[in-house]
Structure 1
């Protein structure tokens, strides 16, 4: 069976190819396809996570553990570190110094714990740090800000800023940005608040910031304590700002009390008030005419370790992953825990190998790797940007000054940053702006520009040139001045600059500019996008001259309607139908974010370095081909990676369907199962190729490979149809007509099916216009028609014969042609070019269909058997008609004895016509053409007639010769 041979050959080739590829892959690397399984079976690398997992501080500890676990899951999914999975082991310190020491003792004496992520509080970290130094265990804290945690302890590192830096930034911000000269400080009597207050007081004295009040509250202040502090602050009308070094439970009643008393002083808070939910709380006793009630934190400045609007692309992805997995928004400690785990994982990854039999040696090697992460060149790219440590083990991280508004914290329009790079000092002074020189400190004012985008239309997507056209509105909110004409779009096809703004206004010291932008932009694809059928249509811009130290773009989430998260932008764009429904694309997701990238200084002598970081604003719309294909449907049920169990399962299922008993008893179900198994095998095979070669190939090579597989996915439905035609179409027709379907009909239909598949491949895979395909096919048809006109005439004649069906296979016919005489035989085959007859002479006669279509055809098998034959005989006029009929009929009955004539059928002799020389009679007899040929019948009847006529003395009439008159010549 040809189809069976084809399918078996295809499967065998696929199986051999898969085995060969896997053997090659395994010989090239032990990781290969099974790297994930190898890593999961290897001995794990254990990392301790120490924080409060019980009691009132448990939510923060759980969030920290979850953040670190997201990194561990990602690393393990990629094969682990040096083939070993990363396993996190939590330890509950309850944020208690005594309990933290017990936890540190357990970790230090452990035989398999390599490093520590923790602790969550400075008190616990300082208590445990001495033991980590004793047992030589490297530790990285995500949230402990007390400077003494890392001071004189080479085994402790910190990924967050310390309290000294925070206090300095706050003092300078109040004095130099807010231009306030007097302040009151309210703080708790604990280690965190005491340390911050001490540094803040020293800095305030140094910069001329007068502290009018120092109010200390117990760790659990009573309502009377709150009221006393609020009354004291409200009575002093000269205090311009109030700094709260409190935690949310103590800060909330005090802020509410100050609001009720109408205190006009600017309120500020430290990083302890940046926890999620504090800024979103509403006043418990709102005014009756306000609905909804206002947020009591509105207008507060808060020092924040993280603000969602400043998130990088990596941080944005983390926020989405965390919310999707744990069904809640993360607090900032989870982000810093992820970075802590990342620092340890990177230290392990940079080692030549991991020897878990020598844990002390491994601990020391990890500490050394962390210590050498001390410059931007040796930094690890983390959620909060480049991560590296100074000599004390503290990360060089920014402190954001946030502003609370409508329950959200957003970046203040001006930020303060310490100038860490001494090479930049002379350059910044030469430029003469944004620099605050306060003796032993250099601070730089950074302008924050709130940026929003409203996409009106995205169209004209050119997949060949990889360009698209966009029509959008762009707006900026900022303080001070911003030369918007120097904002450039790096991926614009032609130079695109912002023209005169549509709207320009100033309100309460804040500038607003809105622009309408239309242009063509380039987009770049990736290996993953090519495989998944996605593309990222990105609009990006930056300032041409102001680097990240002077300008930062942040997303105006609130005015874009993204207060609940930037991931909702895709839903907004879909609702507004930014992409037309007939474009062939659908919006899968859309995000807006800012990113920091280095850009060359182009050898400018003003800059001692070769590159500077710039703030880039991105609006990314992820489009997906809106096609419905069998491949996409299988992706919903099958794994997106090659799987040996699935491959073997479908391979066995494919072979089982060829079992003769099953094929005979269940032909249609077996055909369907076989085709489904073939599709699944092709899907898994494509995943195998993607896993092995996607990252190894150049993009154009990957495109060619994907085009090949796309063509196969279009050919597969054609194979489905061709394979289902016999059980669903041809066999029912044969059962109904009791004749086999000619090969020409089968071949013609199969060619039509594959022709349609070929046209679809050209149109949808190679993206050739249908008009071009039709024009090319028309020209090709004309050329072939001239060269192959006889073959084409035979083919169409065969098609006409199949449609009219003057005869069918196994029927007996006679064909009388003008030039080739008469042929009689049984129809053996009717193909696309010829008809084959089996004659009584045991010969096979092949006749072109074009000759048959012009011939006289006698079908001896229709309408029913037997077939009547008329044999002419001419007798003289002297023979009476009754006598002639009697003799002829009796003669024909004698032929019955020979078996040539059927005796059960009537035999008659009738008068046909009168000739000039006699009377023409027709002897009507019946015979079975499958048993006796017409020549045999004629022979038997004529022999019997001649014998009887001779006996009766009757003569056959002979035509008269024409009279010839001769002229005499003499």
Structure 2
């Protein structure tokens, strides 16, 4: 009852806690509805997880959705509405002009807010209440102009822009940047944003381009909807000039609207193919955090996220982590909540104080020197992938010979900052076979293909395999070639690799096999490896992703698959995207291994730091610690048998442990209240047979999973040993209960005599002796032959010595069970007659 009451109070408190209200202002209708949907999904993904995993120390987060598109009042009215309804903070709005109008309103209402809308320029008030993350639109425009002119080498550009102050300003800014390099924009065409006659205007522009035979790139400015209309209209008008654009072209809203309005004979992929753009995030170059978000988003919504959803998730995560760090709860006055949030958010204006996000640190209101990187993407059909050259900012205090770097073509001067030209190398891995697995040596032998596609003067095959247990031969390629300036090289090799080589979260009993490598000399600034998703899986190229986070304390631990599969029959939206694992199973990569199966698989890339090893290039003031682009192809394998975690998700183990403990306590209570009733003895024994193994399974898996993630390997092995011993001890203990309940107790009740303790002890000793033999043989792997021989000889000597006593005891047991006579009966033994005066276990 106490346990039930505690659980009830815990659940009641968790459900009844007053939430912290967060207003979300986004375009939930109108032309930008798809943008609003991405924002809402990204925020919901974090908030749902936060509320589910939170402990009682933190109140839940409640979202208040406000549609900025349908709001008919002023921007100030929206802020006042959020403040009146008790919002502690706000995420939004999306529209850049509305965000600028709201900035003063947020300060007046003393309401802190985060927005995805970029500022026009990187200027912020000294005491801000509105916080932005990412680069401003001016930086983005100049960055694209620098890239097109100095990386791509294009000298002729034309611009299509929305009429109005902002569109005209960005077009002029792009033109001004190009003129700095001796290039002038040839033609500019304006259009009326969201006007019904946009299609006709685009037809006129396409006609002029064709008639004038204009060459060069076309810069398309505007929001996602207008840009989609312009791009599809140009392609429908047979304009084949390459199109470039800003971050709006990297949104799912742009692709979705283009798909809805395209009516041409060619596919949409041919329309989007080769568009070059700037974006805050590229998933194929992003690290583990972004890949996990990508996978979690697909699992939740059944489609790929874009940078909008990822940044919305980051904004929500910043707020959630800040609420926890400040211990803000429902009892704190609302004004104090808002002021504490604002003070903490204002301190996140540097990389050192910012919280991590999907693309590195989420710096709020960044200064010029703390701006996050901008990435250049290109559409391969309808898939957005990384361009083969990226620009990486050089840290402000880094000691570098800038002029030499520029002369040698390794750096550019962009937007008043020096940037490295980073070569992108598309890298693919295909595992043929895992030929052997040695758990004692913690190694696996793997045969695999490895290939590279790249431009530039680099040798991508000069690798260091981070988890190699021996030398890996990449001296002679199986095949190599070149298509224009694109180079290609493929190798086939094999080698031994250490298992469990990363901190990737896994369940106890599973092993992580795989390959991890980086370049031997070239750091992340000079070369970046990117997983060649297109080359590895052309049929379904969007699902070769790492698994979602699987921390046992906070997330599902790669388990409960049977239960999830049953649920999936009724809800296919949440089916797991594990295409790479399916491909590995299809190719039977574990065929040489008996008793193992592929559980999950992924390929990802991240940046890893290495020690300088005293190298003067990296030692001293202004010298950066060496960091490298590293590729990780992980294959999570598990024993090919049904495990408890294949039936129940890992986060159910705690509930199973509570249930088992309650059943065990109920068995004790039944024994106490019904000590002499045989029926309840059977019931309580049955409860123990169920609850004890269940409790062992639940607690054992909880401890082992926690130890695997947080404690030394030897500690995990010790816990495993204890866990295995308990699987022998508990059945032995249950067997002694069974003997006592159904042999000794009924015998004593019928005979009204106590069975000698020596007999009980001998039986118990025999049971535990068999248990000891089992532990010795199956837990410690030791032979029991000599132990059995010694024990048998000892038992023989003792048996001969007390043979008569044993015979008498056994006879006494038989007589007390069968009861052929009782005290007072006349008994004839051969020629003698006598009266039964007493019956004991040894004599009559």
The question of 1:564 aligning with 2:538 is answered: no
Contact kept in structure 2, 1:185 and 1:243, CA below 8 Å: yes
The alpha carbon displacement at 1:622 in A equals 1.8
Aligned to 2:610: 599
Q: Give the SS at the match of 1:207.
A: coil
Q: Give the SS at the match of 2:809.
A: strand
Aligned mate of 1:123, from 97, 107, 112:
97
Aligned to 1:587: 598
Q: Give the SS at the match of 1:376.
A: coil
Between the aligned partners of 1:80 and 1:394, the Cα distance in structure 2 is 38
Aligned mate of 1:232, from 208, 212, 221:
208
Q: CA offsets, 1:763-805, max 9 Å, x none?
A: 6655x3xxxx4xx32233344555555347789xx9xxxxxxx
Aligned to 1:303: 278
Aligned to 1:936: 832
The question of 1:147 aligning with 2:121 is answered: yes
Aligned mate of 2:80, from 82, 105, 110:
105
Query: Which protein shows a greater Rg?
Result: 1
Number of positions where the alignment pairs a residue of Structure 1 with one of Structure 2? 778
Aligned to 1:7: none
Aligned to 1:405: 380
Aligned mate of 1:554, from 518, 527, 530:
530
Q: Give the SS at the match of 1:91.
A: strand
Aligned to 2:339: 364
Between the aligned partners of 2:415 and 2:452, the Cα distance in structure 1 is 35
The alpha carbon displacement at 1:230 in A equals 0.5
Aligned to 1:640: 653
The question of 1:164 aligning with 2:138 is answered: yes
Aligned to 2:574: none
User: Structure 1 353/151 Cα, relative in aligned 2: closer, same or farther at 3 Å?
Assistant: closer
User: Structure 1 427/209 Cα, relative in aligned 2: closer, same or farther at 3 Å?
Assistant: closer
Aligned mate of 1:790, from 794, 797, 805:
797
Aligned to 2:311: 336
Structure 1 segment 720-759 matched on structure 2, within 5 A:
none
The question of 1:676 aligning with 2:683 is answered: no
Q: Give the SS at the match of 2:695.
A: helix
Aligned to 1:534: 510
Structure 1 segment 818-829 matched on structure 2, within 5 A:
828-829=808-809
User: Structure 1 42/427 Cα, relative in aligned 2: closer, same or farther at 3 Å?
Assistant: farther
The alpha carbon displacement at 1:38 in A equals 6.7
Aligned mate of 1:183, from 152, 157, 162:
157
Aligned to 1:58: 33
User: Structure 1 277/120 Cα, relative in aligned 2: closer, same or farther at 3 Å?
Assistant: closer
Aligned mate of 1:47, from 22, 45, 52:
22
Between the aligned partners of 2:96 and 2:758, the Cα distance in structure 1 is 87
User: Structure 1 794/272 Cα, relative in aligned 2: closer, same or farther at 3 Å?
Assistant: farther
Q: CA offsets, 1:8-44, max 9 Å, x none?
A: xxxxxxx99x99xxx9xxxxxxxx9999987766554
User: Structure 1 530/614 Cα, relative in aligned 2: closer, same or farther at 3 Å?
Assistant: closer
Contact kept in structure 2, 1:488 and 1:541, CA below 8 Å: yes
Contact kept in structure 1, 2:35 and 2:253, CA below 8 Å: no
The alpha carbon displacement at 1:931 in A equals 1.8
Between the aligned partners of 2:813 and 2:694, the Cα distance in structure 1 is 45
Aligned to 1:712: 726
Q: Give the SS at the match of 2:631.
A: strand
The alpha carbon displacement at 1:217 in A equals 1.2
Q: CA offsets, 1:928-948, max 9 Å, x none?
A: x9820114279xxxxxxxxxx
User: Structure 1 200/758 Cα, relative in aligned 2: closer, same or farther at 3 Å?
Assistant: farther
TM-score, normalization: structure 1? Answer: 0.70
Between the aligned partners of 1:931 and 1:53, the Cα distance in structure 2 is 100
Contact kept in structure 1, 2:517 and 2:632, CA below 8 Å: yes
- Which structure would you say has the larger RCO, counting Cα contacts within 8 Å and 6 or more residues apart? 2
Aligned to 1:218: 192
Aligned to 2:841: none
Aligned to 1:664: 678
Aligned to 1:451: 427
Contact kept in structure 2, 1:387 and 1:396, CA below 8 Å: no
Aligned to 2:787: 780
Structure 2 residue runs without a partner (length 5+)? 545-577, 747-755, 835-844
Structure 1 segment 370-449 matched on structure 2, within 5 A:
370-389=345-364, 392=367, 396-426=371-401, 429=404, 432-437=408-413, 440-449=416-425
Greater mean deviation of Cα atoms: 69-78 or 687-696: 687-696
Between the aligned partners of 2:71 and 2:448, the Cα distance in structure 1 is 54
Q: Give the SS at the match of 1:210.
A: coil
Q: CA offsets, 1:206-242, max 9 Å, x none?
A: 2222211101111124332121010112233342111
The question of 1:576 aligning with 2:587 is answered: yes
User: Structure 1 300/697 Cα, relative in aligned 2: closer, same or farther at 3 Å?
Assistant: closer
The alpha carbon displacement at 1:462 in A equals 3.1
Contact kept in structure 2, 1:371 and 1:393, CA below 8 Å: no
Aligned to 1:460: 436
Contact kept in structure 2, 1:587 and 1:621, CA below 8 Å: yes
The alpha carbon displacement at 1:521 in A equals 1.9
Between the aligned partners of 2:705 and 2:471, the Cα distance in structure 1 is 39
Contact kept in structure 1, 2:146 and 2:414, CA below 8 Å: no
User: Structure 1 576/716 Cα, relative in aligned 2: closer, same or farther at 3 Å?
Assistant: farther
User: Structure 1 761/60 Cα, relative in aligned 2: closer, same or farther at 3 Å?
Assistant: farther
Contact kept in structure 2, 1:248 and 1:278, CA below 8 Å: yes
Q: CA offsets, 1:354-402, max 9 Å, x none?
A: 7963443443333333333333332322111122246559972222222
Between the aligned partners of 2:373 and 2:522, the Cα distance in structure 1 is 18
Q: Give the SS at the match of 1:161.
A: coil
Aligned mate of 1:512, from 479, 488, 498:
488
User: Structure 1 46/609 Cα, relative in aligned 2: closer, same or farther at 3 Å?
Assistant: farther
Between the aligned partners of 2:416 and 2:502, the Cα distance in structure 1 is 48
Aligned to 1:4: none
The alpha carbon displacement at 1:129 in A equals 1.2
Between the aligned partners of 2:813 and 2:660, the Cα distance in structure 1 is 49
Contact kept in structure 2, 1:527 and 1:702, CA below 8 Å: no
Q: Give the SS at the match of 2:828.
A: coil
Greater mean deviation of Cα atoms: 306-315 or 222-231: 306-315
Contact kept in structure 2, 1:547 and 1:615, CA below 8 Å: yes
TM-score, normalization: structure 2? Answer: 0.80
Between the aligned partners of 1:293 and 1:351, the Cα distance in structure 2 is 49
Structure 1 residue runs without a partner (length 5+)? 1-14, 24-31, 733-741, 799-822, 845-860, 866-928, 939-970
Aligned to 2:246: 270
Q: CA offsets, 1:672-698, max 9 Å, x none?
A: 443112223334544675799887754
Q: Give the SS at the match of 2:398.
A: helix
Aligned to 2:714: 700
Task: Kindly report the root-mean-square deviation, in angstroms, between the aligned alpha carbons of the 2 structures.
Answer: 4.6
The alpha carbon displacement at 1:626 in A equals 3.5
Q: Give the SS at the match of 1:113.
A: coil
Between the aligned partners of 1:441 and 1:284, the Cα distance in structure 2 is 40
Between the aligned partners of 2:766 and 2:679, the Cα distance in structure 1 is 30
